[in-house]
Amino acid sequence: MAMTPRLGLDTLRRLPAESRPLVRPGTVPVGIVHIGLGAFFRAHQAVYTEEAVAAAGGDWGIVGVAPRSADVVAALKEQDNLYSVTEMSAGGARAKVIGALAGAQVAATDPERVVARLADPAVRVVTLCVTEKGYKLDPATGQLLDDPALTADLLGDGSPTTVPGLLVRGLLARARADAGPIAVVSCDNFSANGRRVRGMLAAAYAMAGHDDAWLRANVSCPGTMVDRIVPASTDATRAAAAALLGVRDEVALAGEPYRQWVIEDDFPGGRPAWELAGAVLTDDAGPWERLKLRALNGVHSGMAYLGALAGRETIVDAYRMPGLVDAMRRFVAEDIAPSFTPPDGVSVVDYGEQSLARFANPAIAHRTTQVAMDGSQKLPQRVLETIRDRRAAGGEPRWGALVVAAWMRYARGVADDGRPLHLDDPLADRIRAAIAAAPDSPEGLAGALFGLTEVFPAELAADETVRTLVVDWLTEFDKHGVESTLAGVG
């Protein structure tokens, strides 16, 4: 049997009409550099940008930069920078090929090429999707980390290997080239991601001893809220895409139909007409960020830790566990909703229901262990800020404490049925050492992990009410396991 041909410019005409790109691939001049070529960016910002350019034109082709991994870039090259996104839900699947990428390169092998791109006057927007840990910021304080690779980038003259190092080098080159203003846009799940990036750049300039006058006058850092569930691809993802497209796509992605992007409108060098693709342009993304981080990501993390401990492979499997959805509903209604002021006209409880409905999508096989990774980086903005705000108002955030307890138990590395759970986290060594040095008891585990200052602000770690709530859940888990504990929640 003949091998299915590969996706590329010369096979575009084989695609069903509804799957073809909205722009002529390779014809849109570059205006955006995007750092972090993972699945999320390709199924989110790239899709919005393609639709915006299709609707309103503009020189907004994207050069995608993978910080380290050469695999995706090599596969994209084979496919003339084309790839597909398959929307999946109980109602069926639809695949679309995206033509927004004008190029792809690897920073690790040729950082100077990326620096040159950042200094190109045609480039007026840099977007970042490098996950929380890519920014080299302390999750609890937002301060620049004391990190050897970062220090080498900022104080040495070798090629940069970190994201902040690459950006600083690129922006300095841009200032020297007098290449005009630029927006640096974080598309990662932080609270106040724009302010964090601005703080990161200012601190990096200060550490390296650079004058930041040009930076302050020419670089904006708009905040954003990004949202779409896009699990890591599997053979099943690639098979589904091939069946719909009639061609093979080695970097095919699958995502839910839902997507949202809220962007602060501060682009000194212009921007694509993203609003024509459904994005919300605003002057303050803060309320949207808090809504999403707390009532979607916080609940997602809770389901991931509780589900993984109870042996559930995917988020939708976890969703089906008796008691889990009830517990998450109470987390939203009793802890999250009263913790902040949502955007005008939005009900946090309704938004939480919508999040739960998205997690129930049976066509999205999002592994609990994927959502569970990097908990030390995710917990602060997803759960601890809710707990902090509730405590400040005198509340007792029992459900937030449930999620913290689940993360702590997960960090021990053993599911309730005795199977190992891999702790994939930049602080894994510190976490394991802290647990190993503590007594093997709920109090011991909580004491060890509340002592991680990168995760728990001092005030929270010292809060006896929070500690008691967490220890109570850990004690329940020890006695009954997560599954029975949740089944008893009412």
Interface residue list for ligand CS2 (CB under 6 A): 189, 227-229, 297, 300, 370-371, 378
Distance from C-alpha of 118 to C-alpha of 166, rounded to nearest angstrom? 9
Q: How far is the CB of 141 from ligand CS2 (least distance, A)?
A: 21
Residue (of 267, 389, 281) closest to 337 by Cα position: 389
| CA–CA gap between residue 96 and residue 168 (Å, rounded) | 36
In this complex, which beta carbon is closest to ligand CS2, that of residue 297 or of residue 376? 297
Of 472, 380, 474, nearest to 427 by C-alpha is 380
Q: How far is the CB of 222 from ligand CS2 (least distance, A)?
A: 18
By beta-carbon proximity to ligand CS2, the closer residue of 45 and 79 is: 45
- Calculate the alpha carbon distances from 69 to 40, 79, 109, 147, 276 in Å: 15, 17, 9, 21, 33
SS3 string, 197-228, reads: HHHHHHHHHHHHCCCCHHHHHHEECCCEEEEC
* Token pair for 462: 């010292």
CB of 105 to ligand CS2, least distance (A): 25
Q: How far is the CB of 247 from ligand CS2 (least distance, A)?
A: 28
Distance between CA atoms of residues 40 and 233, nearest Å: 11
Q: Which is closer to ligand CS2, CB of 374 or CB of 476?
A: 374
φ, ψ of residue 429 in degrees (nearest 5): -65, -45
Taking the complex as a whole, the smallest distance from the CB of residue 316 to ligand CS2 amounts, in Å, to 13
Q: Measured from the CB atom, is 136 or 378 closer to ligand CS2?
A: 378
- Sorted by sequence, the CB contacts under 8 Å of residue 432 that are 6+ apart come out as 411, 413, 423
Measured torsion, CA atoms of residues 156, 157, 162, 168, in degrees rounded to the nearest 10: 100
- Residues 6 or more apart whose Cβ sits within 8 Å of residue 71: none
Q: How far is the CB of 212 from ligand CS2 (least distance, A)?
A: 31
Q: Using CA atoms in the order 92, 346, 331, 458, what is the torsion angle rounded to 10 degrees?
A: 120
Residue number with CB closer to ligand CS2 (198 or 228): 228
**Closer to ligand CS2 by Cβ: residue 136 or 382:** 382
Smallest separation, CB 364 to ligand CS2 (Å): 9
Amino acid identity for residue 381 in this structure = Q
**For ligand CS2, which is the closer residue by CB, 289 or 483?**
289
Which residue number, 79 or 361, has a Cβ lying nearer to ligand CS2? 361
Closest approach of Cβ 362 to ligand CS2, in Å? 16
Output the CA torsion 154→155→160→166 (10° steps): 20
Q: For residues 19 and 131, which CB has a smaller minimum distance to ligand CS2 in the complex?
A: 131
Pair of tokens at residue 391: 């405590």
Structure tokens at 126: 């840099």
278 φψ region: left (φ > 0), alpha (ψ -120 to 50), beta (else)? left
Please report how close the Cβ of residue 227 comes to ligand CS2 at its closest, in angstroms.
4
- Shortest Cβ 273–ligand CS2 spacing (Å): 23
- Measured from the Cβ of residue 187, the count of other Cβ atoms closer than 10 Å reads 21
Instruction: Name the residue with tokens 């093979």.
Output: 248
Q: Which is nearer to ligand CS2, 19 or 361 (CB)?
A: 361
CA 94 to each of CA 24, 168, 244: distance values in angstroms, whole numbers, following the listed order: 20, 40, 7
